[in-house]
Amino acid sequence: LLQSAESYRYRFSTSSSASSSQQPRVCNRNPFHLQMLTGVPESSLSDLLLTVLRRSGWRDGTVVLCRGWEESGGILQLLDQTSSGASWDGGSGATWRLRAVLNLTQSSHDDTQIHDFLSRHFRQNQSSPASVLLFGADPQCAAGVLRSAQDLGLTLPMMHWVLGKPLSPDALHAIGLPLGLLAYGEVQRKPLEFYVRDALQLISRAIATATMVRPDLALIQNTVNCYDTSEHQVPSSGQYLTRFLSNTSFLGLTGPVRVHLNRSQVVTSQRFHIWSLRRDALGQPTWVTVGSWEGGELKVEDQGVWPGMPVAGSRVRVVTLVEHPFVFTRDVDDEGSCPAGQFCLDASTNSSETLQRFFREVAGGNGSFLPAEYSKCCYGYCIDLLEKLAEDLGFEYDLYIVGDGKYGAWKAGRWTGLVGDLLNGLADLAVTSFSINSARSRVIDFTSPFFSTSLGILVRSKDTAAPIGAFMWPLHWSMWVGIFLALHITALFLTLYEWKSPYGMTPHGRNRIRVFSYSSALNLCYAILFGRTVSSKTPKCWTGRFLMNLWAIFCLLVLSSYTANLAAVMVGEKTFEEVSGIHDAKLHHPSWGFRFGTVRESSAEDYMKKNTHPHTRTHVSRRQTHTSERLLRTCSDFSEQQYVSVFEVLTMLLQLMSTCTIAIPLGGASCSVHC
């Protein structure tokens, strides 16, 4: 099944008749035989493939053959010839060499054999990254090869798959993997009537030009004697007209029309599109036109990074999100430059045209015309990483801050934040503390992680310095209001009962020198409440004395509860709210005064909405903040004594807080941080 490129050359040359039989052979040097080709010669297709490979930066590659590859035998022969002896050079120093040929025609209907064969071959021939050309007319074999390549991880950046046979745009919908796959096909194909008209126009233009020079040869056929040995032969009409036909060119219905030098072919123009398989804004595979081929020239239509091409020499657009301590921002200096860090644009927009205009003004030295709030200096660990990456790979970049300030989530049928900018083509690269989860991994590609963390729970610990009002902590403020309200009402009724009783100490009582007033009742109630023996007047009527005893019993119960709660508060002054984990009952049924939240559209929010109790999901939706810094500030706020924060990147954030009064539950243990 595996044959080297050298041993396969004989097969190419002997099978070229299969491909050449589709269109008649042309005598390349017969000046009396001109033929207008309605199709594309195989030499042009091989030039197209080699130019695409050179544009992608690949220096060698492998050819995979499926059943029906004979239709492209001429292209394979030309590719093989370019790699024999001197490698093909596209004119810019980049060469391409045919490394090996894999023949899968015998196992084209068995996916298992295809999978095992590709796995065995590429494991035995582990080398530098290369391109893979797939030829064949069998859709089942081609689909099996591409599926196996996806399963084996033989995709970008190690392997770049290219379909060697031209396809129609309608045939692309049946191919959905792997991402980065390149295909090409002819578009805007002209009808046969256009070729007939251009052929007639070529003849009429040539005859008209020849008639203006020598009408006798152009219009009147002369006689040629084959046995005439004279050295001074008169040129025939055919030779004379052939010279004008070969020098005639014009823009016809099929495009530029001319006669190929040293060949008897009338060259017309065909337009090819190069498509790349990418993901759309919804995360689904879609074909995107990245370039076009016409007249022997490749024009790149997608201004982003060519799929699979090394980014050296390219200029990419990078999006970031301010996330301490990975990315910080500060204002530019008076001259509009950044002595430290990199210039970044904070325009709060997701319009590609607006960003492109702003970056163009900055590149042209007109950055002073930008609003002051748009120009920022970005610095931090991720920016240093981006600088090092650009230095090693040799690319330039334009840096901007994401417009909506979000990481990215699926909202209202589209992706937002960083993910949305990447999928919409607004940015080529995102550099920040970007968490990897399953939803994002399905639509965008991630590099290897440079920092590993996990979800954590932050609970605010109690402040060690007790304020003046700490004595009121054992009871809620509503209890204190109720106690003192009940005290004044009790004192009021004691006064009324005493004054309405004939035996009471009132000015109208029997021989009463002392009077029981409202102030006397208040003095009595406060003395009972605080347990103090002070000089006070007691009521004389039995109703007042009964009410006084009820108040004493109530005060005894209140003082007992207060004393017990005070001891608990004093003992737990330096503790925090115990939360066992993300599935704790406190999070499922939040009590009054207990709040928790997370960063909006973060991995923590996505996890809590998918894997927790319905009440937890509802509570999280109402308690969200835009940044981790703001969430941490909310958690450490004194007014929120029972606020729980769930988010990533815990330890490094805590190290940068100027004042930390936060505890981190770690399994069954706890860790309180003070800085």
| Residue 107 within a domain | yes
Using the structure block, give the residue that is written with the tokens 């596209």.
90
Q: Which two tokens stand for residue 423?
A: 């999928």
Centre a 10 Å sphere on the Cβ of residue 259 and count the other Cβ atoms it contains: 19
160 and 61 in a common domain: yes
In tens, the pLDDT along 429-477 reads 899 888 888 888 888 888 888 877 766 676 666 555 667 777 788 888 8
Proportion of the chain above pLDDT 70, given as a percent: 64
214 and 138 in a common domain: no
Given 187, 205, 220, which residue is the final one in a domain?
187
- Cα–Cα distance measured from residue 318 to residue 330, given in angstroms and rounded to the nearest whole number: 18
Average pLDDT over residues 67-71: 73
Proportion of the chain above pLDDT 90, given as a percent: 4
| Residue 280 within a domain | no
Whose CA is closest to 255, among 276, 238, 272, 235?
Answer: 272
Q: Which two tokens stand for residue 343?
A: 């210039």
3-class DSSP state for residue 227?
Answer: coil
170 and 196 in a common domain: no
Confidence tier at 671 by pLDDT (50, 70, 90) = very low
| Residue 592 within a domain | yes
98 and 205 in a common domain: no
| Residue 110 within a domain | yes
pLDDT over 70 at 46, yes or no: yes
In tens, the pLDDT along 554-579 reads 999 988 888 888 877 776 655 556 66
Residue 591, phi then psi, degrees to nearest 5: -85, 175
Q: What average pLDDT is seen over the chain?
A: 73
420 and 478 in a common domain: no
334 and 250 in a common domain: no
Average pLDDT over residues 637-652: 50
Least confident segment among 1-5, 520-524, 557-561, 570-574: 1-5
In tens, the pLDDT along 472-505 reads 888 888 898 999 999 999 989 988 888 887 766 7
Residue 306, phi then psi, degrees to nearest 5: -60, 135
Confidence tier at 637 by pLDDT (50, 70, 90) = low
- Cα–Cα distance measured from residue 659 to residue 465, given in angstroms and rounded to the nearest whole number: 14
Least confident segment among 51-65, 302-316, 361-375, 449-463: 302-316
In tens, the pLDDT along 91-145 reads 434 466 777 788 887 765 677 888 888 888 777 665 555 678 777 767 778 888 8
Given 124, 159, 187, which residue is the final one in a domain?
187
Given 130, 154, 187, which residue is the final one in a domain?
187
- Cα–Cα distance measured from residue 5 to residue 79, given in angstroms and rounded to the nearest whole number: 10
pLDDT over 90 at 514, yes or no: no
329 and 214 in a common domain: no
Average pLDDT over residues 255-283: 75
Tally: H helices and E strands in the chain:
21, 28
pLDDT over 70 at 336, yes or no: yes
Q: What is the pLDDT of residue 481?
A: 92
48 and 172 in a common domain: yes
Q: What is the pLDDT of residue 431?
A: 92
Of residues 400 and 161, the one with the higher pLDDT is: 400
| Residue 11 within a domain | yes
Q: Which two tokens stand for residue 507?
A: 């000015």
Of 234-248, 520-534, 642-656, which one has max mean pLDDT? 520-534
Where in 301-366 does DSSP place strands (E)? Answer: 315-320, 328-331, 342-345
44 and 6 in a common domain: yes
613 and 551 in a common domain: no
Least confident segment among 214-223, 283-292, 298-307, 390-399: 298-307
Q: What is the pLDDT of residue 426?
A: 84
| Residue 308 within a domain | no
Where in 52-207 does DSSP place strands (E)? Answer: 60-65, 88-89, 95-103, 130-135, 159-163, 182-187
Whose CA is closest to 471, among 551, 563, 404?
Answer: 563
Of 40-49, 297-306, 574-583, 643-652, which one has max mean pLDDT? 40-49
Q: What is the pLDDT of residue 232?
A: 56
566 and 589 in a common domain: no
Which residues fall within 8 angstroms of residue 324, CB to CB, at 6 or more apart?
380, 628, 629, 653, 656
250 and 136 in a common domain: no
- Cα–Cα distance measured from residue 338 to residue 523, given in angstroms and rounded to the nearest whole number: 72
Average pLDDT over residues 148-161: 77
Give the structural domain span for 363: 315-452
In tens, the pLDDT along 525-541 reads 888 888 777 677 778 78
Q: What is the pLDDT of residue 363?
A: 75
pLDDT over 90 at 320, yes or no: yes
